[in-house]
A and B are shown apart, each in its own frame.
Chain A
Amino acid sequence: MDPAKLNALRKGLLEFLILAIVSSGKVYVADILRRLSTTDFATQEGTLYPLLSKMRREELVDYEWQESASGPPRKYYRLTGTGAAQLAEFRAYWSSLTTLVDELGKNNAPSD
Protein backbone atom coordinates (compact mmCIF):
# COMPACT_ATOMS: atom_id res chain seq x y z
CA MET A 1 0.00 0.00 0.00
CA ASP A 2 1.02 3.61 -0.53
CA PRO A 3 3.13 4.40 2.56
CA ALA A 4 2.13 8.07 2.50
CA LYS A 5 -1.47 7.09 3.08
CA LEU A 6 -0.57 5.33 6.28
CA ASN A 7 1.76 8.03 7.57
CA ALA A 8 -0.92 10.26 9.03
CA LEU A 9 -2.51 7.28 10.74
CA ARG A 10 0.83 6.20 12.15
CA LYS A 11 1.61 9.67 13.42
CA GLY A 12 -1.69 9.90 15.25
CA LEU A 13 -1.29 6.48 16.80
CA LEU A 14 2.22 7.09 18.10
CA GLU A 15 1.00 8.87 21.22
CA PHE A 16 -1.16 5.90 22.22
CA LEU A 17 1.64 3.42 21.60
CA ILE A 18 3.84 5.50 23.88
CA LEU A 19 1.13 5.41 26.54
CA ALA A 20 1.07 1.62 26.19
CA ILE A 21 4.86 1.34 26.48
CA VAL A 22 5.01 3.67 29.47
CA SER A 23 2.23 1.66 31.15
CA SER A 24 4.64 -1.27 31.45
CA GLY A 25 6.49 0.52 34.23
CA LYS A 26 9.18 3.14 34.53
CA VAL A 27 10.80 3.66 31.16
CA TYR A 28 13.19 6.17 29.70
CA VAL A 29 13.44 7.42 26.16
CA ALA A 30 15.92 4.78 24.99
CA ASP A 31 13.50 2.04 26.17
CA ILE A 32 10.69 3.59 24.12
CA LEU A 33 12.92 3.86 21.04
CA ARG A 34 14.03 0.25 21.43
CA ARG A 35 10.48 -1.09 21.83
CA LEU A 36 9.38 0.78 18.70
CA SER A 37 12.51 0.20 16.62
CA THR A 38 11.43 -3.19 15.29
CA THR A 39 7.90 -2.03 14.54
CA ASP A 40 6.29 0.06 11.87
CA PHE A 41 6.40 2.94 14.34
CA ALA A 42 10.18 3.26 14.65
CA THR A 43 10.87 6.84 15.61
CA GLN A 44 13.64 9.16 16.76
CA GLU A 45 14.36 11.38 19.72
CA GLY A 46 13.67 14.48 17.65
CA THR A 47 10.06 13.35 17.47
CA LEU A 48 9.81 11.77 20.90
CA TYR A 49 10.96 14.65 23.12
CA PRO A 50 8.41 17.21 21.90
CA LEU A 51 5.67 14.58 22.09
CA LEU A 52 6.58 13.45 25.61
CA SER A 53 6.73 17.02 26.85
CA LYS A 54 3.27 17.63 25.40
CA MET A 55 1.96 14.45 27.04
CA ARG A 56 3.43 15.59 30.34
CA ARG A 57 1.73 18.97 29.93
CA GLU A 58 -1.54 17.15 29.45
CA GLU A 59 -0.74 15.17 32.61
CA LEU A 60 -0.86 11.82 30.85
CA VAL A 61 2.69 10.95 31.89
CA ASP A 62 5.03 12.15 34.57
CA TYR A 63 8.74 11.65 35.02
CA GLU A 64 11.34 11.54 37.71
CA TRP A 65 15.07 12.03 37.42
CA GLN A 66 17.30 9.08 38.05
CA GLU A 67 21.09 8.97 38.12
CA SER A 68 22.79 7.09 35.32
CA ALA A 69 26.16 5.38 35.49
CA SER A 70 27.18 6.60 32.05
CA GLY A 71 26.15 10.22 31.79
CA PRO A 72 23.72 12.87 32.98
CA PRO A 73 20.63 11.85 34.98
CA ARG A 74 17.75 10.44 32.95
CA LYS A 75 14.04 11.10 32.96
CA TYR A 76 12.09 7.99 33.80
CA TYR A 77 8.50 8.22 32.68
CA ARG A 78 5.43 6.64 34.21
CA LEU A 79 1.72 6.83 33.54
CA THR A 80 -0.52 9.11 35.58
CA GLY A 81 -4.09 8.22 36.49
CA THR A 82 -5.32 10.30 33.57
CA GLY A 83 -2.86 8.55 31.25
CA ALA A 84 -3.99 5.11 32.40
CA ALA A 85 -7.63 6.10 31.87
CA GLN A 86 -6.89 7.42 28.40
CA LEU A 87 -5.02 4.24 27.48
CA ALA A 88 -7.96 2.09 28.64
CA GLU A 89 -10.32 4.27 26.63
CA PHE A 90 -8.08 4.00 23.57
CA ARG A 91 -7.86 0.21 23.86
CA ALA A 92 -11.64 -0.06 23.98
CA TYR A 93 -11.96 2.29 21.01
CA TRP A 94 -9.33 0.41 19.04
CA SER A 95 -11.03 -2.94 19.50
CA SER A 96 -14.35 -1.43 18.47
CA LEU A 97 -12.60 -0.05 15.38
CA THR A 98 -11.10 -3.39 14.35
CA THR A 99 -14.51 -5.02 14.84
CA LEU A 100 -16.05 -2.31 12.69
CA VAL A 101 -13.47 -2.73 9.91
CA ASP A 102 -14.01 -6.50 9.93
CA GLU A 103 -17.77 -6.17 9.83
CA LEU A 104 -17.79 -3.58 7.08
CA GLY A 105 -15.74 -5.99 4.97
CA LYS A 106 -18.34 -8.70 5.41
CA ASN A 107 -21.12 -6.49 4.07
CA ASN A 108 -19.92 -7.39 0.57
CA ALA A 109 -21.14 -10.91 1.08
CA PRO A 110 -24.76 -11.41 0.11
CA SER A 111 -26.99 -11.32 3.13
CA ASP A 112 -30.03 -13.48 3.52
Chain B
Amino acid sequence: MHRVIDISLTGHAEPFRVHDDAFDLLHQYLDRARTRLADDPDHAEVIGDLERSIGEKLAGRQRTGNAVLDAEDITAVLEEIGAVDAGAAELAAPRSRGRRRLYRIRDGQVWAGVCTGLAAYAELDVKVVRWIFVGLALVTVGLFMLVYVLAMFVLPVVSTRDEYEALVARDEA
Protein backbone atom coordinates (compact mmCIF):
# COMPACT_ATOMS: atom_id res chain seq x y z
CA MET B 1 0.00 0.00 0.00
CA HIS B 2 1.37 3.40 -0.98
CA ARG B 3 1.25 6.52 1.09
CA VAL B 4 0.22 9.63 -0.80
CA ILE B 5 2.40 12.71 -0.35
CA ASP B 6 1.74 16.27 -1.48
CA ILE B 7 4.70 17.89 -3.13
CA SER B 8 4.88 21.50 -4.20
CA LEU B 9 7.02 22.61 -7.11
CA THR B 10 8.23 26.08 -8.03
CA GLY B 11 5.74 27.97 -10.19
CA HIS B 12 2.83 25.66 -9.50
CA ALA B 13 0.16 26.90 -7.11
CA GLU B 14 -1.35 23.47 -6.52
CA PRO B 15 0.74 20.74 -4.90
CA PHE B 16 1.05 17.44 -6.75
CA ARG B 17 -0.25 14.26 -5.16
CA VAL B 18 2.28 11.48 -5.56
CA HIS B 19 2.95 7.99 -4.20
CA ASP B 20 5.72 7.80 -1.63
CA ASP B 21 8.09 5.91 -3.96
CA ALA B 22 7.44 8.50 -6.66
CA PHE B 23 8.18 11.22 -4.12
CA ASP B 24 11.51 9.54 -3.29
CA LEU B 25 12.50 9.41 -6.96
CA LEU B 26 11.78 13.09 -7.43
CA HIS B 27 13.55 13.97 -4.24
CA GLN B 28 16.66 12.02 -5.26
CA TYR B 29 16.69 13.67 -8.68
CA LEU B 30 16.51 17.15 -7.20
CA ASP B 31 19.17 16.30 -4.61
CA ARG B 32 21.51 15.08 -7.32
CA ALA B 33 20.78 18.20 -9.32
CA ARG B 34 21.63 20.38 -6.31
CA THR B 35 24.92 18.53 -5.77
CA ARG B 36 25.91 18.87 -9.41
CA LEU B 37 24.99 22.55 -9.44
CA ALA B 38 26.79 23.29 -6.17
CA ASP B 39 29.29 25.55 -7.96
CA ASP B 40 26.71 27.26 -10.12
CA PRO B 41 26.00 30.77 -8.78
CA ASP B 42 22.48 30.53 -10.26
CA HIS B 43 21.74 27.05 -8.90
CA ALA B 44 18.53 28.17 -7.19
CA GLU B 45 17.24 29.54 -10.46
CA VAL B 46 18.16 26.40 -12.40
CA ILE B 47 16.42 24.22 -9.80
CA GLY B 48 13.40 26.51 -10.19
CA ASP B 49 13.50 26.03 -13.98
CA LEU B 50 13.62 22.27 -13.51
CA GLU B 51 10.76 22.25 -11.01
CA ARG B 52 8.56 24.39 -13.24
CA SER B 53 9.15 22.03 -16.13
CA ILE B 54 8.70 18.86 -14.06
CA GLY B 55 5.43 20.29 -12.75
CA GLU B 56 4.20 21.16 -16.21
CA LYS B 57 4.83 17.63 -17.46
CA LEU B 58 3.31 16.07 -14.34
CA ALA B 59 0.21 18.22 -14.74
CA GLY B 60 -0.10 16.94 -18.30
CA ARG B 61 0.04 13.35 -17.08
CA GLN B 62 -2.49 14.10 -14.35
CA ARG B 63 -4.98 15.36 -16.90
CA THR B 64 -4.81 12.20 -18.96
CA GLY B 65 -4.10 9.63 -16.28
CA ASN B 66 -4.30 9.18 -12.55
CA ALA B 67 -4.85 12.07 -10.18
CA VAL B 68 -2.20 10.54 -7.91
CA LEU B 69 1.09 10.17 -9.75
CA ASP B 70 3.14 7.00 -9.40
CA ALA B 71 6.79 6.10 -9.84
CA GLU B 72 6.22 5.38 -13.51
CA ASP B 73 4.95 8.91 -14.11
CA ILE B 74 7.93 10.45 -12.35
CA THR B 75 10.43 8.21 -14.11
CA ALA B 76 9.01 9.10 -17.52
CA VAL B 77 9.13 12.83 -16.77
CA LEU B 78 12.63 12.74 -15.33
CA GLU B 79 13.90 10.74 -18.28
CA GLU B 80 12.48 13.34 -20.61
CA ILE B 81 14.24 16.13 -18.73
CA GLY B 82 17.48 14.22 -18.38
CA ALA B 83 20.15 14.32 -15.71
CA VAL B 84 21.42 17.75 -14.82
CA ASP B 85 24.61 18.31 -16.75
CA ALA B 86 26.56 21.14 -15.24
CA GLY B 87 29.37 20.09 -17.58
CA ALA B 88 27.89 21.82 -20.60
CA ALA B 89 28.11 25.13 -18.79
CA GLU B 90 31.51 24.31 -17.31
CA LEU B 91 33.03 23.30 -20.61
CA ALA B 92 31.92 26.58 -22.11
CA ALA B 93 33.52 28.47 -19.23
CA PRO B 94 36.60 26.51 -18.24
CA ARG B 95 37.47 26.85 -14.60
CA SER B 96 40.57 28.77 -13.86
CA ARG B 97 43.44 26.38 -13.34
CA GLY B 98 45.63 26.29 -10.29
CA ARG B 99 42.94 25.08 -7.97
CA ARG B 100 45.41 22.49 -6.68
CA ARG B 101 45.81 23.14 -3.04
CA LEU B 102 48.85 22.64 -0.93
CA TYR B 103 48.76 20.08 1.87
CA ARG B 104 51.25 18.49 4.19
CA ILE B 105 51.59 14.77 3.53
CA ARG B 106 52.44 12.49 6.44
CA ASP B 107 53.50 9.52 4.35
CA GLY B 108 57.27 9.73 3.77
CA GLN B 109 57.71 12.82 5.90
CA VAL B 110 61.05 13.64 7.53
CA TRP B 111 59.83 16.38 9.78
CA ALA B 112 56.28 17.60 9.26
CA GLY B 113 55.55 16.61 5.68
CA VAL B 114 55.85 20.08 4.16
CA CYS B 115 58.34 18.90 1.52
CA THR B 116 56.34 15.78 0.63
CA GLY B 117 53.29 18.03 0.24
CA LEU B 118 55.17 20.51 -1.92
CA ALA B 119 56.56 17.70 -4.06
CA ALA B 120 53.07 16.33 -4.71
CA TYR B 121 51.80 19.84 -5.44
CA ALA B 122 54.58 20.66 -7.90
CA GLU B 123 54.74 17.08 -9.20
CA LEU B 124 58.45 16.89 -8.39
CA ASP B 125 60.59 14.28 -6.70
CA VAL B 126 60.56 14.95 -2.98
CA LYS B 127 64.39 14.74 -2.93
CA VAL B 128 64.60 17.71 -5.27
CA VAL B 129 62.26 19.72 -3.07
CA ARG B 130 64.31 18.85 0.03
CA TRP B 131 67.58 19.95 -1.59
CA ILE B 132 65.96 23.23 -2.64
CA PHE B 133 64.72 23.71 0.92
CA VAL B 134 68.09 22.92 2.47
CA GLY B 135 69.82 25.16 -0.08
CA LEU B 136 67.52 28.07 0.62
CA ALA B 137 67.90 27.57 4.37
CA LEU B 138 71.70 27.67 4.03
CA VAL B 139 71.69 30.72 1.75
CA THR B 140 69.36 32.66 4.05
CA VAL B 141 71.31 31.56 7.14
CA GLY B 142 68.37 29.59 8.46
CA LEU B 143 65.82 32.30 7.94
CA PHE B 144 64.08 30.17 5.36
CA MET B 145 63.40 27.60 8.10
CA LEU B 146 60.76 30.03 9.30
CA VAL B 147 58.86 29.37 6.08
CA TYR B 148 58.86 25.67 6.94
CA VAL B 149 57.62 26.33 10.45
CA LEU B 150 54.93 28.66 9.13
CA ALA B 151 53.84 26.05 6.55
CA MET B 152 53.64 23.49 9.36
CA PHE B 153 50.99 25.55 11.06
CA VAL B 154 49.13 26.85 8.04
CA LEU B 155 48.78 23.82 5.76
CA PRO B 156 46.12 21.15 6.20
CA VAL B 157 47.38 17.57 6.52
CA VAL B 158 46.60 14.40 4.60
CA SER B 159 48.15 11.03 5.32
CA THR B 160 49.19 9.77 1.87
CA ARG B 161 49.92 11.05 -1.60
CA ASP B 162 47.02 8.97 -2.94
CA GLU B 163 44.70 10.74 -0.59
CA TYR B 164 46.10 14.05 -1.79
CA GLU B 165 45.54 13.16 -5.45
CA ALA B 166 41.99 12.11 -4.64
CA LEU B 167 41.34 15.47 -2.97
CA VAL B 168 42.81 17.35 -5.90
CA ALA B 169 40.79 15.31 -8.38
CA ARG B 170 37.66 16.08 -6.40
CA ASP B 171 38.45 19.81 -6.36
CA GLU B 172 39.05 19.84 -10.08
CA ALA B 173 36.01 17.75 -10.94
Contacts and interface: CB of A to CB of B under 8 A. Distances in A.
Same complex origin of A and B: yes
B93 A50 contact: no
A14 interface: yes
A11 B89 contact: no
A72 interface: yes
B55 A72 contact: yes
Nearest to A72: B11
Interface residues of B, number: 30
Nearest to A14: B88
A10 to B, nearest CB: 10
Interface stretch (B18-26, B46-54, B96-104, B159-167): B46-54
B65 interface: no
Interface string B70-99: 000000000011111111110111000000
Nearest to B89: A54
15 contacts: A45-B50, A46-B82, A46-B84, A47-B88, A49-B46, A49-B50, A50-B46, A53-B40, A53-B45, A53-B46, A54-B92, A58-B93, A71-B11, A72-B12, A72-B55
B89 A51 contact: yes
A71 B81 contact: no
Q: How large is the interface on A (under 10, 10 to 19, 20 to 34, 35 or more residues)?
A: 20 to 34
Interface of A: 8, 11-12, 14-15, 29, 43-47, 49-51, 53-58, 70-73, 75
Main secondary structure of the interface of A (DSSP, over half): helix
Contacts, number: 79
Contact of A46 (B42, B85, B93): B85
Contact of A71 (B50, B55, B84): B55
A50 B91 contact: no
A75 B49 contact: yes
Contacts of B33: 46
B37 interface: yes
Interface in B91-120: 91-93
A14 B91 CA distance: 10
A102 B23 CA distance: 54
